[in-house]
Amino acid sequence: MPEFIVRVGTPEGEIVERHVKAATARAAQEELQRQGMHVFATKRGTVRLSDLLPRRRRGVSTERFLTFNQELLALVKAGLPILQSFDIMLERQKSPAFREILDDIREQLKSGVALSDAFASYGNLFPPIYSTSLRAGERSGDLEGVLRRFLRYQKIIVDLRKKVIGALIYPSVLITLSMVMVFVMLTYVIPKFAEFYQGFDAELPAFTRFMIGLAKGLKNNIVMIAIFVVAAAILLRRWVTSTGQVLWDRFKLHIPLAGGILHRFALMQFTQSLGTLLTGGTPMVPAIEIASQSVSNHEVGGKIAAIVQNVREGEPLWRSLESTGVITDLAIEMIKVGESTGALTEMLANISEFYDEEIQARLSRVVAAIEPIILIIMGGVIGTLLYAFYLPLFRLSGVAQ
């Protein structure tokens, strides 16, 4: 895991540098902020070879965490104490990694640590909204209601992700098969044509010679090309997960067809999270801070997080969000109405539902448009390859006649 050097101000008023190991610079900053420190600057420490290699991410899958909370809700609803509930779930937990985490949380509970603090001690391993929702439930005595609202929030996000992935399966398979076909033609079929044409004492067309040279170069340097592609992918991934996350997320918002869907998904995450937190009793300012962290797109989440100070100083939420430039006009108007009527949580739920429907409609249109586009492009590529190598045959047959 990479190391970051963070310049911070301690609660005692000292300015020191702390060395923190974290997945990203933002994660390192959040870890120190949770310890009550003010972050001034962050820079990456010495880069080691192990930091550039892919590593297995230690975490809990969304589906497994969803199942855990469904079981916890059922046990809490039945009136069982938290410790006894953890004992029951530990016996049935099949994942060794998650069982180890739950066992540690149970030990923290035995020592007097609150459930919310026990989950918060694992940092970004669990969604920030989860520990905050638990804390609100502990204060209000409505842990069951908090778990129910969190489960509803998680199911909405998970269902939407499944719909997006399901819609993209066919185009992905189509692109993969087309690329495999082109690769086979360049590395196997075209060299066979080249051997065939060597028996003729005639000059080949320039386009055919170019394709033969391209095919030979690809076949002779396939190992080096594969190494370069893998290395470039690893470096790109490391850059994206460290200093380039915001730039990468900004680029994704401008991708034709897909950018609008990703933008609305980020806004749905924010409105759904904010509504869940406010309904659970979390104050507005910390609710905005946590909801902005739940946004998967760092460009959108960062702009929303920047409004916290404005809201803290008394500026209306709708006006602060309008200044970011990332919230749609319809959402701004609905939030404005919600604030003026005292029905903000209901309006946020309506906005989330609207975004969900719009994402599905846009996704259907994109999938319907992308399939013929892929077929046309790949048909053109394959047709061009066939033209390049059947053209000499046509010319030779003309000469023979």
End-to-end CA distance of the chain: 70
Per-residue pLDDT at 400 exceeds 50: no
* pLDDT single digits (tens) 255-276: 887 888 888 888 888 888 888 8
pLDDT reported for residue 40: 67
Which residue in this structure is represented by tokens 């946004």?
A: 295
Name the CATH topology of 62-153.
Receptor-associated Protein (1.20.81)
pLDDT reported for residue 332: 92
Per-residue pLDDT at 1 exceeds 60: no
Q: Is 301 exposed, middle or buried (0-12, 13-18, 19+ CB in 10 A)?
A: buried
Fold match, 3-52 / 62-153: no
Q: 3-class DSSP state for residue 254? A: coil
- Tokens standing for 67? 């199942």
Instruction: Identify whether the C-beta of residue 270 lies closer than 8 Å to the C-beta of residue 224.
Output: no
- d(CA 300, CA 253) in angstroms, rounded, equals 9
CATH of domain 154-401: 1.20.81.30
Instruction: Identify whether the C-beta of residue 294 lies closer than 8 Å to the C-beta of residue 128.
Output: yes
Average pLDDT over residues 166-186: 80
- Tokens standing for 325? 């430039």
- Tokens standing for 361? 């409609």
Per-residue pLDDT at 144 exceeds 60: yes
Bridge partners, 42 (sequence order): 6
Q: What number of other Cβ atoms are within 10 A of residue 261's Cβ?
A: 20
Give the domain ranges of the chain. Answer: 3-52, 62-153, 154-401
Q: 3-class DSSP state for residue 44? A: strand
Beta-carbon contacts of 63 under 8 Å, excluding residues fewer than 6 positions away, are: 158
Indicate the average pLDDT of the chain.
Answer: 79
Q: Which CATH number fits domain 3-52: 1.10.10, 1.10.3470, 3.10.20, 3.40.1350?
A: 3.10.20
pLDDT reported for residue 49: 38
At CA 140, angle to CA 136 and CA 143, rounded to 5?
70
pLDDT reported for residue 51: 41
- d(CA 32, CA 34) in angstroms, rounded, equals 5
pTM value is 0.66
pLDDT reported for residue 253: 87
Instruction: Identify whether the C-beta of residue 102 lies closer than 8 Å to the C-beta of residue 246.
Output: no
**Which strands form 3-9's sheet, in the order they lie side by side?**
15-21, 3-9, 38-44
- d(CA 292, CA 304) in angstroms, rounded, equals 6
* pLDDT single digits (tens) 343-387: 898 898 898 888 888 888 888 888 778 778 888 888 888 788 777
* pLDDT single digits (tens) 308-324: 888 888 899 999 999 98
Average pLDDT over residues 64-77: 88
Beta strands in 118-277 (DSSP E): none
Per-residue pLDDT at 56 exceeds 70: no
